[in-house]
Amino acid sequence: MKKKTEIIKAKSERADKIQFRLGIALIIISCIRYYLPFHIYFLDISMKHKIFFSGLTVGVAELFFWVGLFLVGEEYVKKYWDKLNPARWFRKKK
């Protein structure tokens, strides 16, 4: 029979995996949502509504990004931050 601490640890690891995957999913969704304002321009609605929905879309995308970043965790961000910086993409590796 498993000890109580082993069961709790297994549940905690499973919850961490789910939290990490949810964070990655939110970051990806936020990247996709940043392109929606370009498509809203072609809708047949008034200019007021286009501006409102564009601002709302960008605001929700920002919210998804920061919540996803919070869920993913500081270690992941630090680990991959150098790979996300375009200034370092074309440097020669030593």
Q: Give the pTM.
A: 0.69
The CA distance from 84 to 2, in Å, is 42
Q: Is 9 inside any structural domain? A: yes
The CA distance from 55 to 45, in Å, is 15
- Tens of pLDDT, residue by residue over 58-68, are 999 999 999 99
From 80, 62, 88, select the one nearest 20 (Cα to Cα).
Answer: 80
Residue 11 has a pLDDT of 65
Token look-up 């970043």 returns 69
The CA distance from 62 to 30, in Å, is 7
Q: Which domain holds residue 25?
A: 4-88
Residue 55 has a pLDDT of 92
The token pair that represents 92 in the structure block: 């020669």
Q: Is 63 inside any structural domain? A: yes
Residue 1 has pLDDT above 60, yes or no: no
Q: Is 83 inside any structural domain? A: yes
- Tens of pLDDT, residue by residue over 62-94, are 999 999 988 888 777 777 777 777 777 777 766
Q: Is 94 inside any structural domain? A: no
Report the domain count for the chain.
1
The token pair that represents 57 in the structure block: 């879309």
What is the DSSP track for 59-70? Answer: HHHHHHHHHHHH
